[in-house]
Amino acid sequence: MINMTSLKNKIKAYLRLIRIHTIIATALTPSLGAFATYSVLKDKLIPDDIIQIFIPLFLVGIIIHIFGEILNDYMDYDIDKANIELSEKPLVSGDVSKKGALIGLVLCLIFLIIVFIFSHFSNLSILLFIIGATTGIIYQLISKKWLHSAVLIASYVYFIILFGAAYAKPYDNILSIPPLVYVLSILGFFQLWINTAILGHLKDIKNDSEYGVKTFPMIFRVKVEGEGKTPKLIIPMGFRTFVIFIQIINLIVAFLPIIFYNKFYDGSVNLFLLSFSLIVLSIIILVSMIKTMWFKIFVRNKLMKVMAVREIATYFFAPVLLSPLIGGVMTLIYIFFPLIWFIIVNKLISGDPMRAAI
């Protein structure tokens, strides 16, 4: 007889392993490039066959999300196992076996091949996908061995957005892709680099330093001092200044479509509403980043909550920039579907809507 409690716990463990709380945001990433392409080239009219484009890209996004998260935990197993704060992670706790993780990776590859076989991907889109996937996989393999490996995972999202654009429209070469797609790709690059090289390594700074792993913040002498419930988080002013500067550069990229208005939009776009939305998001992002950089006590869960606010606000940049071109309904879907999913899943799995379900 099947033990239902044991089965539920096993299912929950696998959902935590694949970071189910952010799967929708990742799955929508390739289609951002597709929608940007269609909206620019088709005079704002989303064609009837957009669903035929959207579904394969959404499926590819889901598969690469699951593959990446499983591979990440598999490669970090020894390091995570040494940290008592990460003892509840599915692989470390034994709720998911390493063999089960490997089976998950193989299944992802099989499903990915099936999607590509039954979808009409152009040669350029396949090439861009291979480049993006390769950089992502290499990152997972060497992330703890190369100090600047975050560039690889950031490059992954850059090429995945271009991949979506190339699938929506069979371009002859990469230079034919509309400028708006490149803005989205650069935003994605910055966001993932900041999330990984800075914020990701900051929340793991204690564990990484104890295990002997040298990460980007350590170059600036970021460290944790003391033991117990209130260890001090030491963040030098040089690191704070650098991070805020990079974040401001990221925000400037987001405003390029407004700065060069005529190259991206036409006269029907409500420039005031668009600018106001981006300014509000920028304030939220900057305040969250400043609050993160001025943390005095190292409490990983509290750090992750503040980081989650910034990550959500940063994600909103893409649909807001596309909103004048794709319409209100699609904008709301891109904004609220991942957010509602994030909150509900976290509440169900971790009990806290703003605590990542990992």
0.75 surpassed by pTM: yes
The mean per-residue pLDDT over the stretch 194-206 comes to 86
pLDDT at 154: 92
Q: Is the pLDDT of residue 281 over 90?
A: yes
Check residues 60 and 78 and name the one with the higher pLDDT.
60
Among 66, 187, 67, 60, which residue's Cα sits nearest to residue 125?
A: 60
pLDDT at 228: 66
Tokens of 340: 């509602």
Structure tokens at 292: 């993160």
- Give residue 113's identity as a one-letter amino acid code: I
Residue 36 has pLDDT above 60, yes or no: yes
Quote the mean pLDDT of the chain: 84
Residue reference for tokens 């009409």: 120
Query: Structure tokens of 168?
Result: 């929506």
Fold classified for 15-349:
Tetracycline Repressor; domain 2 (1.10.357)
In this predicted model, which residue has the larger pLDDT, 195 or 325? 195
Q: What percent of the chain has pLDDT over 70?
A: 90
Report the pLDDT value the prediction gives residue 45, as an integer from 0 to 100: 45
- Which is more confidently placed, 237 or 122? 237
The string of DSSP codes covering 197-239 is IIIIHHHTHHHHHHHT---HHHHTT-EEE--TT--EEE--HHH
- The confidence score (pLDDT) of residue 287 equals 94
Q: How confident is the model at residue 92 (pLDDT cuts 50, 70, 90)?
A: confident
Pairing state between β 223-225 and 232-234:
antiparallel
pLDDT in tens, 64-85: 999 999 998 888 887 778 777 6
Block residue for tokens 């991907």: 121
Q: What is the pLDDT of residues 146-179, one digit of tens each?
A: 878 889 999 999 999 999 988 887 777 888 888 8
> Two tokens at 8?
């539920």
Given a cut of 60, whether residue 27 has pLDDT beyond it is: yes
Higher model confidence: residue 86 or residue 244? 244
pLDDT digits (tens, 9 = 90+) for 229-247: 678 888 999 999 999 999 9
Q: Residue 282: which pLDDT band, with cuts at 50, 70 and 90?
A: very high
Mean of pLDDT values over 310-319:
86
Q: Return d(Cα 150, Cα 129) in angstroms, integer.
A: 18
Rounded Cα distance between 257 and 265, Å, is 8
Per the DSSP assignment, residues forming a β-bridge with 208 are none
User: What pLDDT does 35 receive?
Assistant: 81
